Amino acid sequence: MIDVRITNDPLVLEKAIELVRSDQNGAEITFSGVVRNNNLGRDVLFLEYEAYPDMAEKILEKIGKDACADYDISSIVLWHRTGHLEISEVSMVIAVGAPHRAAAFEACRDAVEKVKALAPVWKREIWDGGKEWLGQQNE
């Protein structure tokens, strides 16, 4: 099972866990990307995320298919939020269900790195007195 989503709606980790839960799994591994209040020595006020949703969901789907093929996992959830996010709000959720923990850990970490590197999702950081786009488009 692969579930992908690019949305303006808040992401709920517990719902992702429910989707990967299965009697065949001995492991459920999750990652939540959370907006923090500081970066590069600046006090961050909030973040804004923009995406190319159709393309981003296709890329998330490919990342999910690759994870299922490369690791012994049964399910994966890949969600990313867009829009205005306040400090402590969740921007990304990845959940993996697998028979064994090692595969679940590896698949989750690999998926996080691939989403950050490949998905057309852009982050603008806003701080007192300025704002800046951060991430892959600047590399």
pLDDT at 137: 44
Place of tokens 């950081």: 125
Residues in the chain where the model's pLDDT stays below 50: 137-139
Tell me if residue 75 falls in helix, strand or coil: strand
pLDDT tens string 18-54: 999 999 999 999 999 999 999 988 999 999 999 999 9
Do 6 and 51 meet the contact criterion of CB atoms below 8 Å apart?
Answer: yes
What is the C-alpha separation between 71 and 104, in angstroms, rounded?
8
What is the C-alpha separation between 122 and 81, in angstroms, rounded?
11
pLDDT at 4: 97
pLDDT at 139: 41
pLDDT at 136: 54
pTM score, whole prediction: 0.91
Do 50 and 121 meet the contact criterion of CB atoms below 8 Å apart?
Answer: yes
